[in-house]
Amino acid sequence: MKSAIGFTTTLVLIIVGIWLLWQWGFCRFYIDPNEMAVITAKDGDPLPPGQILARKGQKGVQEEVLGEGRHFLNPIMYERTILPVTIILPGKVGVITSKVGKELPEGEFLAEVGQKGIWRNVLGPGKYRLNPFGYTIDILDAISIPVGYVGVVTSLSGDQAPEGQFATPKQKGILADVLQPGLYYVNPREFKVDVLEIGVNQVSLLGKGGAAVITKGQIVTQNRAMDELQSKVLMEQKVKRADYLSDSRSMLQQAAGSSRMRNAQREESSPRAPQAAPEGATFVLNQFVEFPSRDGFEISLDMTVELELLPEKIAGIFRSYGDLPAAVDKIIMPQILSISRLKGSAYGARDFIVGEGREKFQNDLTETLAKTLAERNIIIHNALIRHVNVPMQILDPIQQASIAQEQDLTNKEKQNTAKKLAELNTEISLIAQKREQVAQETEKIKAEIKADQQKQVAEIGAEALKKVSEIGKQTAAVHAEKITKLGKAEADMVKLVDGERSSGYQLRIKAFGDPVAYNLWSFATNLNSDVKVNILHAGPGTLWTDLEKANLGEMGGAAILQKAP
């Protein structure tokens, strides 16, 4: 039993090992990034007639492809082919042509997903894995519209739009909406985009040299890819215009041949160096302004017309006339020539050289041209006359007369200048004299002002002293009055005090009834309390000798003398 289990385990391990070896050694394969694998089944149901790509269970090239990574595939049953993926860079579009799918309805040439033919939808920038056996991808440039331009879109699929009308989204023809500046990923099989200038452009008529149209230059951006796309778009525009001008010139060659003799005769009568097209001119037309003047002289003009094409009107202009060269050739130039000849024939040759005739003709031409082309959605800002070619037989006398007139004016101006110079010298002398007089007057005025100031100072000083004296007088009077009042007050006070004192003495005396009694009272009151009274009997001798004997000479006598009233 154990041997059977061991044998079975060993067999299983061998089978697993063989399977792993088969899978990892023979069936395993890797697909690197930016690659894909196209698988071909060697066995299965045969493909029906017309089917190119096989589905699961069918024999042949499989419709599904394998992307990057690790895969396991039986090499006996399948064959693999490693191919690069389709990479669409920025600024590019991928147009898909499907070899598989349903057939297109009659009259249609653009297919939807699942139909055979050119797909309507395009692929933008990115990586795509489409089976190359069933699909073809054409990588084309996207539409880059520079700043200052718009894209006029022409639909190439659908029913034809009525003549003179814009196409709807389901119709073939020119669409009313234009593309603003930017990058657009559109199917060039479905739409044709013509890049046209908008804004202000110039048509310069160079006399017999023809007409040069100056349009906008390319706007330089910081994006290299965008710059390349815009350069290609503008180059394609230039090629288209060159083809149109080439066809236009071939139609004009016969008419131009008949006028060469007349032009040569005019060149002899009015020699002038041929002018080159202005720098920056996009294209040149073989047309120029020439008309007879009112007095029968042939006049040719160098003129610059500034025109503006609005974005919302450019589609209608393109539908009616075509690209800018065609619009200039079919409508703008004929109007310029017609109006110039019509208006110019009303002026004499002299009016284009001297006087206000040239300015009046220019204003009249601008106004009429603007009004006429406004009806065709073209705005005219200015029609500027730069130079007038006049035959020498009339130009020379006018020039000589003008020179003589200018010389006469110059001589008169010289005389006037000399006269003015003399007057100037006189005025300069008068100015110097006036300056001296003004200086003297100034000194006089300064002295008068100074004397007046001193007088005013003296008067102010005297007035101040007078005021001080008056104030001193008033102060002395006040002081005297003060002394008088103080003296009177003191006298009154003494009088009152002494009077009251006398009254007091009188009342005291009256109280004692006798002045002697009052005096004795006063004596007694003022007597020193230390006085002693000694009664001495008078004997022989004198009072003073007795006092000495009684030892009263130094004490009692002195005390009595001191206390005596």
Model pLDDT, residue 480: 85
Confidence of residue 83 (pLDDT cuts 50, 70, 90): very high
Q: What is the pLDDT of residue 263?
A: 47
DSSP 271: -
User: Does the pLDDT at position 271 exceed 60?
Assistant: no
**Are the C-beta atoms of 308 and 373 separated by less than 8 Å?**
no
Report d(CA 172, CA 160) in Å as an integer: 5
**Residue 275: is its pLDDT beyond 50?**
no
CA dihedral (307, 310, 315, 317) in degrees, to 10, reads: -30
Q: Which 8-state DSSP code applies to residue 115?
A: B
pLDDT tens across 431-460, in order? Answer: 888 888 888 889 889 888 988 888 888 889
Distances from the Cα of 282 to the Cα of 5, 153, 158, 316, angstroms: 94, 22, 34, 22
Res. 546 pLDDT band, cuts 50 70 90: low
Q: Classify burial at 361, counting beta carbons within 10 Å of its beta carbon; exposed 0-12, middle 13-18, buried 19 or more.
A: buried
C-alpha closest to that of 300 among 356, 262, 357, 341: 341
> What is the overall mean pLDDT for the chain?
79
Residues 529-537: what's their mean pLDDT? 64
pTM: 0.56
Q: Identify the CATH number of the domain defined by range 193-256+277-390.
A: 3.30.479.30
Name the H helices within 513-565.
Answer: 515-526, 543-549, 556-563
Tell me, what's the pLDDT at 154?
92
CB 170 within 8 A of CB 159: yes
- Write the DSSP string, 442-466: HHHHHHHHHHHHHHHHHHHHHHHHH
- Tally the C-alpha atoms within 13 A of residue 384's C-alpha that lie toward its C-beta: 9
φ and ψ of 29, to 5 deg: -155, 160
Asked if pLDDT for residue 277 goes beyond 50, the answer is: no
pLDDT at 355: 62
Rounded Cα distance between 76 and 81, Å, is 14
Residue position matching structure tokens 């034809």: 160
Q: Three-state SS for 76?
A: coil
293 Cβ partners below 8 Å, 6+ apart?
299, 344, 345, 347, 348, 349, 351, 352
Interatomic CA distance for residues 285 and 499, integer angstroms: 147
Q: Which residues contact 371 (CB under 8 A, 6 or more apart)?
A: none
Backbone angles phi, psi at 120, to 5 degrees: -70, -45
Beta bridge pairs of residue 144: 183
- Edge-to-edge order in the sheet of strand 60-66: 60-66, 35-41, 78-84
Please give the Cα distance from 231 to 219 (Å, whole number): 10
Selection from 421, 212, 420, 487 nearest residue 324 by Cα: 212
